Every structure is written in structure tokens, then in C-alpha cells.
Amino acid sequence: MPTPDTHHSPKNLRHNYKRYLKERTIELLLFLAASLSVFITFAIIYLLVSESLVFFEHVSLWDFLTDTQWTPLFDDAHYGILPLVSGTAISSLVALVIALPFGTIIAIYLSEFAPFAVREIAKPFLELLGGIPTVVYGYFALLFVTPLLQTILPGLPGFSLLSAGLVMGIMIIPYVSSMTEDAMRSVPMHLREGSYAIGATRFQTAIKVVMPASLSGIAAAYILGISRAVGETMVVAIAAGMQPNLVWNPMEPAATITTYIVQVSLGDLPHGSIGYQTIFAAGLTLLLLTLVFNILGHLLRKRYREVY
């Protein structure tokens, strides 16, 4: 009696077909989940651009870029983005003056100097520091740092870009230091050993061998820090006041692009009004700013990439 050909029995074929169908369906579902991220990007761009286009029917691009007042909710409405941009630039600058040097020094210490035990404790600690909600940092800026600064600088108002920027800087330190450290640690050990072998100290090795070798990663860390500072909202909204001022002095209160969006959202603006569209125009400006930094970071990474 010949053995039945189980492999090609109709039952088995049907089973195989069902199995194939199931596999393809699952793959399609997974693909759809992955493509969602592309859809999100398009949705963001579509929404910001379409609402901004309506906005620019009322306000010329020239006025938007050159007017020095931003008073969209007043009767005498001006739509100049400059005051918001200056507030964003000043607060970010203060933050970066703190975050970049401190972040870099901590990274150098953890990567080149610190004993194993210190690093094992410090890294998770910094990570925890980076996980504290921004609204809490805002509280800290308004009710701890501002009064403290006022004892040193008596003329400092209750809301200022300075204290907001300082706290924002402290908040960004963990991001900068952990990314910089990761970049420095990825430099292979034999480069360091070569440097030590010709008599260099740890500091010389860090500055002249490890940092140049990890320049692309460090640049990426800095860019991430900048783009976080530019997009940060709650600290500035709480500690810097929310009046749009064209100022270049960090000791003044001012609004940033992000705090303007918060301020408008706290009120009750009807959907479709010009005030509603201004926050999308402000959002588009913010997105373009961060996009510029992201592209810059990408180019820097490509330009200085070292391959081992």
C-alpha cells in the first residue's frame, strides 16, 4: 500500500494557504503601525501650514517678519514675530551658557576620570534628574531661583528670562552630559592607550584625542540641547511672565514662541478666529526653527563622522 502523500494533501495545502494569509496580514498590520509615524509628520505639517496660510491672508509675511510688536489679541493688533523670537533666543542662550559647559565637564569627568562605582551611581541619577516634569522645574524657577537671584541682583523683576533660562539650563544638563558621555565612551580604548603611552595625562587625552574623535556625537548632543531649549515651554511660561517684549536683556520678563501658544490656549479662543490661527503660525515658526537645528545636527554628524 503506498503511503499517502501527506505533504500535498488538500487539507495541508489549505492549511498552508491560511498560514500564508495570516503571515501577510500580520506583516501588513505591522507595516501600517510603522507608517503611522510618517502620517503624524504629514498631519503636523499639513495642519500648521494650512492654518498658517489662512493667517497669512490677513497678515503679510513682511509684517510678520519685521513688525516689532506682537499684540494679536488687542484691538490695535500687530503681528510681528520678532518679540517672541527674541524671547526664545535669549532664554535659550542663557540655558545653553549653563547646559553646554556643565554638561561637557560632567561628561568628560564621567567618561575619562570617574571610577566605575561613581559612574554607575551618577548616570542613573542624572537620568532621574532629566525625568522630572518641566512644570516642577517651573515651580522651582519661580519660587526658589528667582528669590535667590533677587538677593544678588536687587533689580530683578519677579518674572525674568534669566531665572527661567538658568533653570532650563540645569534641566538640559542631563541630556547634554549623557549624550556627550555616550559619544566619548564609544571612542575605542586603543586610541586612549596610544595617548597614555606617549605620556599624555587623562585631561590631555580627553581634550586632544577623545573629544576630536567623538566630535560628531558631541555636536549632536549640543544640537539636541539647543532644540530642547528652543522648544521648552512650561519653565518659561511660569517663570518669565507672558508679555511679548522685544528685549535683548535677560533680566526682563518676556514671552517666547511656546509661551504665547500656552497663553492663548489658557484663554477661550473661538475655533477659526485670527487669534486661533496665530498659534499655528507661531507653531510653524517653532517647527521650522527646530527643523533647522535638526538638519544642522544631521549634517554635522555626517561631516565629522569617524569610522573605526
Partner 1 sequence: MNHSDNLNEIRAIIAHHKRWDLLALIAGIIALMIAVLTFIALFGNMIIDGMPRLNWEFFTSFPSRKPEMAGILSAWVGTTLVMLVTAVAAVPLGVAAGVYLEEYAPKNFITEIIEINVTNLAGVPSIIYGLLALGLFVYELGLGQSILSAGLTLALLILPIVIVATREAIRSIPVSIREGAYALGATKWQTVADHVLPYSAAGIMTGIIIGLARAIGETAPIITIGALTFIAFLPPSPLQDQFPFISFEWLMEPFTVMPIQMFNWISRPQEAFQHNAAAAGLVLVIMTLLMNGLAIYLRYRLRKNIKW
CB of 193 or CB of 249, closer to partner 1: 193
Among candidates 122, 125, 165, which has minimal Cα distance to 251?
165
> Please, what is the minimum distance in Å from the beta carbon of residue 26 to partner 1?
5
**Rounded Cα–Cα distance for residues 149 and 94 (Å):** 14
CB of 31 or CB of 66, closer to partner 1: 31
Distances (CA, A) of 247 to 161, 241, 244, 264: 10, 13, 9, 21
Contact assessment for residue 103 and residue 184, using Cβ atoms and an 8 Å cutoff: no
CB of 150 or CB of 290, closer to partner 1: 290
CB of 59 or CB of 230, closer to partner 1: 230
> Please, what is the minimum distance in Å from the beta carbon of residue 93 to partner 1?
17
CB of 218 or CB of 238, closer to partner 1: 238
> Please, what is the minimum distance in Å from the beta carbon of residue 61 to partner 1?
20
Phi-psi region of 45 (alpha: psi -120 to 50; beta: other; left: phi over 0): alpha
> Please, what is the minimum distance in Å from the beta carbon of residue 307 to partner 1?
19
**Rounded Cα–Cα distance for residues 96 and 285 (Å):** 20
**Rounded Cα–Cα distance for residues 253 and 240 (Å):** 5
**Rounded Cα–Cα distance for residues 89 and 248 (Å):** 9
Distances (CA, A) of 216 to 120, 178, 201: 25, 15, 23
> Please, what is the minimum distance in Å from the beta carbon of residue 113 to partner 1?
5
> Please, what is the minimum distance in Å from the beta carbon of residue 219 to partner 1?
14
CB of 104 or CB of 245, closer to partner 1: 104
